[in-house]
Structure 1
């Protein structure tokens, strides 16, 4: 009996020690409708490998802008999470304000960590002053989504016949409307970070920002605004919120949708009984875009903890979700591309052959350009000004694009740093 009591005491002491060794970290990410299923896949694998680390999920951010605003507030209040997922174009402000920590000390301690495991163009998006602050978690490019059952009403029956330019898109809209389709097309003007304005600018090989200067005043800027007006008017596009647009397309009510490849997994899970095809993002010419902005998010270490155990646990989680199986689950559950070569070339060797709709963005990788941030403390305010201007084109409030161009240039110049 004495031996049994001793054994029980030893077991209880061991369990107590294990409980004391447990490290809890807090993690926050955006877009629950896209990523909840991803983390549901990743977390059990992480727990199996790191049973001493508990990852506590915070309430999700509504958008990348919300994520950045939230972290900025939390930095002041002293309530930061340990790891945060931020839009690729929102990393700079967290670095500039000293909120994000450099990952170089953690990388240096890794025996088997190789930066070249990440696609160079993707890793560059989280590198500032030659130091890595963010590891890319998911990368997307804009693509076209097509309900082929609806497209047949315009005489389009194969991917080869899908529109390659915006003029062709407008022509297809006309045919669909003649065939009785009430809402032939949705174009993602209201996507986060003015991403589609940058898509039109990069399509012309023109950066939206050059230094601290907003390039809407350029010929390419005017062409971008005129192209939007042509698409919205020519397709009689409804002014609907983006979640409603995705739901409407999934329900089979919209023939063409131009959006991030990120939503593909969600659309595939929600769509009705119709044939779905994705295809390359159209260009201003039939030859296609000259470049496209990289979308997606990166994992950043923003922990305010001084405890080495918490910081190490945060690094283990950050590294796990951006490499190997963690990165592969991004592709399996969403339409994002993994930023890690191991995930793409080894774990997902046959994945894209079996999932051709998810391969569209991969074919566009040579077009990948920066998703640019607006510099200075007013960057989010600039985003809103551009958003409001484009919405005015959708609603018909703005009809003279040269006039709108001048208004945007003047208002945004006042918000951007002068040097």
Structure 2
């Protein structure tokens, strides 16, 4: 009996060892653990059920999109990159310029009935650079407005007719602010990574960051002037406090802010923090003009960084599942983001949106979606910091009453950092 037991154990051990040897290990790394850790854990569990031959291992998460990009740029030199990396939508250009991610066109072309799995051209467009696909979108966000309906009603606002313009919103915010010294009328997450909520009001009125050939600043036109004056009005007319994003979220969730303007990605976390203390209602971003108005898509894409072919092939299966209908549906249910996958939205999440209308607000704006702009050249990341510094002078109150001058200074500083053409050099 002992010999039989030893033999059986040896066979089991050999089988286990053989399975371990045939498994391909794929490392993934993603940003914002407070938003995504549970999401990736659940998707990995589902993936393991159908692909036990691929072991997905998560590295310690990136702190932010900036951290994600900087780490990959450094790791590309030391050859220590993860096999799969989740990066901000506006960081595709930076990494492609350094020839870091793998092209996905061949993998996409080899797939049969990919459209029936919910993949479509708009998904490919988001991760396209120089005519080739380098990333697939995983989680998409758009800017929306969060209302504390209890404070809206106390201030005399009409719950059935929430503000659709900045004028209406600022007027209501001022009334909410007047409810008490410990109440904020409005907060605006202007410091979101990559100047996202600076681009949003500019794009909403049909503006652009640069001209068509990307040689000159274009955000200093009427659209940019409107956007910066509106930010200044939030401070001067509605008394907006200078808070960072976590503080804005916490203050709103505590019932001390009437209107909070931020990403739909915050929805699940904010809802959990509110815990039923007041009625939360989301609404569309104000003053999106038609037909030129657009809103920048926030969120992140997934890239394959593995260099070994066998690893790349396995990584492609990981990417397909994470951005496919099942993975995308889990992402939507565990965050406030929207899935770009059609089957996820139309089939898996149909009842979810009926039960959770606050989540549908951003989905209703999908027709306005445009790329989150990334500035060209080696100074692209530095430009976003320069813009953030200028915006801070408005929000801090230091220059809130001179938005035109701030915009002129910001445009001049950004222009100096743009790549110079041969004609400009002369």
**TM-score w.r.t. length of structure 2:** 0.92
User: Cα offset for 1:122?
Assistant: 3.8
- C-alpha contact 2:207 2:219 (8 A) present in aligned 1: no
Partner of 1:275: 279
The whole-number CA distance in structure 1 between the counterparts of 2:41 and 2:210 is 37
Deviation digits for residues 120-160 of structure 1, max 9, x if unmatched?
A: 434311012332111100111100001111111111252x3
- After superposition, give the CA deviation of every residue in 1:175-194 in whole Å (9 maximum; x if it has no partner): 11222153121011111111
1:300 to 303, 306, 312: 303
Aligned to 2:408: 406
Asked whether the equivalents of residues 141 and 295 of structure 1 are also in contact (C-alpha less than 8 Å), the reply is: yes
The separation in 2 between residues aligned to 1:23 and 1:87, in whole angstroms, is 27
User: Counterpart of 1:75?
Assistant: 76
1:151 and 1:313 mapped to 2: Cα distance?
51
Cα deviation for residue 288 of structure 1 reads 11
Residue 93 (1) aligns with residue 123 (2): no
Structure 1 equivalent of residue 170 of structure 2 = 170
Match in the other structure for 1:262 = 265
Q: SS at 1:255's partner residue?
A: strand
The residue matched to 2:267 in structure 1 has which SS? helix
Task: Name the residue aligned to 1:40.
Answer: 41
- Which position in structure 2 is the counterpart of 1:290? 293
Q: Is the 8 A contact 2:31 2:63 kept in 1?
A: yes
Q: Distance in 1 between matches of 2:120 and 2:299?
A: 14
Contact 1:265/1:333 (8 A) holds in 2: yes
* Shift of residue 12, structure 1, vs aligned partner: 2.5
SS in structure 2 opposite 1:266?
helix
Does the Cα contact within 8 Å between 2:148 and 2:255 map onto a contact in 1? yes
What's 1:219 paired with? 222
Change (3 A) 1:317 1:290: same
Gaps of 5+ in 1: none
The 8 Å contact of residues 177 and 239 in structure 2, kept in 1 or not, is answered as no
SS at 1:214's partner residue? coil
Instruction: State the Cα distance separating 1:117 from its structure 2 match.
Output: 2.6
Give 1:56's aligned residue: 57
Structure 2 equivalent of residue 352 of structure 1: 353
Aligned residues: 415
1:252 aligned to 255, 268, 277, which one? 255
**Partner Cα distance (1:6, 1:37) in 2:** 41
For 1:208, the equivalent position in structure 2 comes to 209
8 Å contact from structure 1 (residues 148, 157) kept in 2: no
For residue 424 of structure 2, what is the aligned residue in structure 1?
A: none
Q: Secondary structure at the match of 1:161?
A: coil
Could you tell me which runs of 5 or more consecutive residues in structure 2 were left unpaired when the two chains were aligned.
Answer: 422-426
User: Cα offset for 1:232?
Assistant: 1.9
